[in-house]
Copies of this chain bind each other. A is one copy, B any other.
């Protein structure tokens, strides 16, 4: 007899819609016990919350997230709000004994993230599961890469090379949004997309970044203010009043990994022609893996132990039963899309709850990413000097 896991989503934006779809889809393709069910959607505005609930297919809504957390019949709080609100909500949810899935970045500061990690560690003793939504870990091709690396197939790692390239701010009249406000967003390309690269890189490499040398740029210092919320890629009215951008447009840094590998990272929203190129390559002494989210169903794998004259990067179509997550879906060669990452995230989260085990990335792991981000900003402010990453949670 399957039990039900009752979920509340906080946040009515793009990510709320995505999570609602993932919770709805996961039990249809994966065996899950308990079986999740989103019962309420909370947002700050009652009217928006109600209409979003209807759109997202959620039976009820609320404009009071604290009241939702207080409900006894809710098992999971799924936080899909902007980053500056994560800490308060997550701490309240953990205090109320709820399992928590929190979108990335975990918080807008390492200090806040550490507090969340500490709370999660305390709650774990009671079997409460807390996880941060670095969804790219759930790409089948990247999970396959992780498996190959764990199995020693690329040997000792020397190079990590990650680029996250977008271009929705390339036009200098692209409109101002909350994502360009340091108070709300924490940082710009760095925290929004660079954080994904950092998490993916450390997870794949199985080694943490210990120090960085960084630089950031804000190429366009003011942008036209829109009266209404404007979507990604919108274009501004040149006559509009302009708002000051207080975050980075781009960040670049080199990184030292604990195991000796050298990382080169770049995150930008100004790489004209790249809508969402999330790329990573890792070179070891026995081979390499390479991935580009523009081709999210494939992994490039080079085996340096293959016979001389027969070597080369091979394109593995990671849609076969042998590949992580893929067997639950369609026949080989029938690719998955972006949203499947979130469905897989739900699956792993629910299974951690069911098994009483750990969910990854844990809040502590996500807090460590926040410490890397902070080291990057300190280095950038200090003439790019090599700057050690402070111990997460310490």
Identify the A interface with B (CB < 8 A): 14, 17-18, 20-21, 24-25, 27-28, 55-57, 144, 154, 158-159, 161, 163, 166-168, 170-172, 213-215, 217, 219, 231-233, 249-250, 252-254, 256, 260, 262, 264, 266, 268, 270-277, 283-288, 293-298, 301-302, 304, 308-317, 319-323, 329-340, 383-386
Closest to A27 in B: B57
Contact B262 A250 (CB under 8 A): yes
Contact B275 A333 (CB under 8 A): yes
Residue among A264, A285, A287 with the most chain B CB within 10 A? A264
Cα A261 to Cα B260 in complex, Å, equals 30
Residues of B within 8 A of A171 (CB): 285, 304
Residues of B within 8 A of A293 (CB): 333, 335
The smallest beta-carbon distance between A220 and chain B, in angstroms, is 9
Contact A309 B384 (CB under 8 A): no
Closest to A31 in B: B55
Residues of B within 8 A of A270 (CB): 158-159, 283, 285
Given contacts A21-B25, A294-B335, contact A219 B158 (CB under 8 A): yes
Residue among A260, A271, A335 with the most chain B CB within 10 A? A335
Residues of B within 8 A of A296 (CB): 335
Contact A332 B163 (CB under 8 A): no
Copies in the complex: 4
Contact A276 B215 (CB under 8 A): no
Closest to A278 in B: B333
Residues of B within 8 A of A17 (CB): 28
Residues of B within 8 A of A310 (CB): 301, 314, 316
The smallest beta-carbon distance between A166 and chain B, in angstroms, is 7
Contact B331 A309 (CB under 8 A): no
Given contacts A301-B312, A317-B312, A322-B309, contact A273 B287 (CB under 8 A): yes
Residues of B within 8 A of A170 (CB): 158, 283, 285, 304
Contact B319 A275 (CB under 8 A): yes
Contact A302 B273 (CB under 8 A): yes
Nearest 5 CB-CB pairs, A to B? Answer: A276-B333, A275-B333, A309-B322, A273-B302, A337-B337
Contact B294 A309 (CB under 8 A): no
Select one of B254, B272, B276, B331 contacting A283, CB under 8 A. Answer: B272
Contact A271 B288 (CB under 8 A): yes
Residues of B within 8 A of A384 (CB): 213, 254, 384-386
Contact A286 B262 (CB under 8 A): no
The smallest beta-carbon distance between A55 and chain B, in angstroms, is 7
